[in-house]
């Protein structure tokens, strides 16, 4: 999987770097695993904008992805690798031996036609899911559960992975993509391998219209606004941002810690991520 560039025949294509979708094997999704997806435009249940710069975009449908790998002990065949508009990674369609169909996050180097399985006694190879207490030392993992049975939450974005560092007293130690080392219960499930589409970080849309199709609206700098519109607004010419940087709502930004200092999960963090020591 890679990226593709274009001849600069238009201003939008001059700096565009788009995904090379040649790795995908199916264009239409599995209908039985589709659900309607209502757009919010960044608004909450009272109609107020709580997330700015969202709205419009192409109509999308949600793909039901099995993050928990609930069907254990039943082998499944990899049928296709597909695009999912709701995430950066590709998704893989599985056909289980008993006839059930399911989507999972597609691991890197998992080929169509391969067989994958989930359970405690399965082999630790790409696409298989098993508890952390059964993982070999140094394994590359993704879709790691924070709590047993709750489904994979950690390392689901394109190209991400965790590294299994060892286990002691039924607590597994994992090196996370952020650089943080954290403890997980040995019963938590994880999938072997790195998440697909690692070149997603190199994507450059090149034109505003492509962002609008994805549901992103224009972003205006705070320094270009009036004082009534943003804490950075006003001033003569290209004015200096007086005081510490603020968000649109007035909260401190850029380097201010927002994590609760008494968060319960702090006891599970062995080494904090970079810049948080």
Query: pLDDT digits over 141-192, tens only?
Result: 999 999 999 999 999 999 999 999 999 999 999 999 999 999 999 999 999 9
Q: Which candidate, 196, 182, 192, 194, places its Cα nearest to that of 131?
A: 192
- The secondary structure element, H or E, covering residue 210 is helix 208-213
- Cα separation of 92 and 114, whole Å? 11
Domain boundaries, the chain: 3-201
Residue 181's SS3 state is strand
The residue whose two tokens read 């130690």 is: 173
More confident call, 267 vs 240: 267
Assess whether pLDDT exceeds 90 at residue 277: no
Identify any residues that bridge with 204 across adjacent strands, giving them in sequence order: 17
- Cα separation of 263 and 184, whole Å? 16
Query: What are the tokens at 228?
Result: 């009534």
Q: Range with the lowest mean pLDDT among 117-121, 186-190, 195-199, 270-274?
A: 270-274
pLDDT of amino acid 136? 94
Q: How far are the Cα atoms of 55, 169, 183, 268 from residue 272, in angstroms, in the given order? A: 36, 21, 12, 10
CATH fold for the domain made of 3-201: OB fold (Dihydrolipoamide Acetyltransferase, E2P) (2.40.50)
């Amino acid at each position: 999987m890679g990226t593709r560039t274009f001849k600069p025949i238009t201003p939008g294509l001059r700096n565009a770097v788009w995904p090379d979708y040649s790795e995908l094997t199916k264009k239409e999704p599995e209908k039985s695993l589709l659900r309607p997806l209502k757009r919010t435009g960044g608004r909450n249940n009272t109609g107020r904008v709580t997330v700015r710069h969202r709205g419009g975009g192409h109509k999308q449908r949600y793909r039901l992805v099995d993050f928990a790998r609930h069907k254990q002990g039943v082998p499944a065949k990899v049928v296709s690798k597909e695009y999912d508009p709701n995430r950066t990674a590709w998704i893989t369609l599985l056909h289980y031996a008993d006839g059930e169909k399911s989507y999972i996050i597609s691991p890197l180097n998992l080929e169509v036609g391969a067989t994958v399985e989930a359970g405690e006694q399965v082999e630790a190879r790409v696409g298989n899911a098993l508890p952390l207490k059964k993982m070999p030392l140094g394994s590359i993992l993704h879709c790691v559960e924070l709590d047993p049975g709750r489904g994979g939450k950690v390392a689901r974005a394109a190209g991400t992975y965790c590294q299994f560092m060892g286990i002691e007293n039924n607590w597994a130690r994992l090196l996370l993509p952020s650089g943080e080392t954290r403890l997980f219960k040995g019963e938590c499930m994880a999938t072997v391998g790195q998440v697909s589409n690692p070149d997603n970080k190199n994507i450059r849309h090149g034109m505003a219209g492509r962002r609008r199709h994805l549901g992103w609206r224009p972003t205006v700098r705070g320094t270009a606004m009036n004082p009534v519109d943003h804490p950075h607004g006003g001033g003569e010419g290209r004015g200096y941002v007086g005081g510490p940087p603020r968000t649109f709502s007035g909260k401190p930004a850029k380097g201010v810690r927002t994590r609760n200092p008494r968060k319960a999960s702090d006891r599970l963090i062995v080494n904090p991520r970079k810049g948080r020591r």
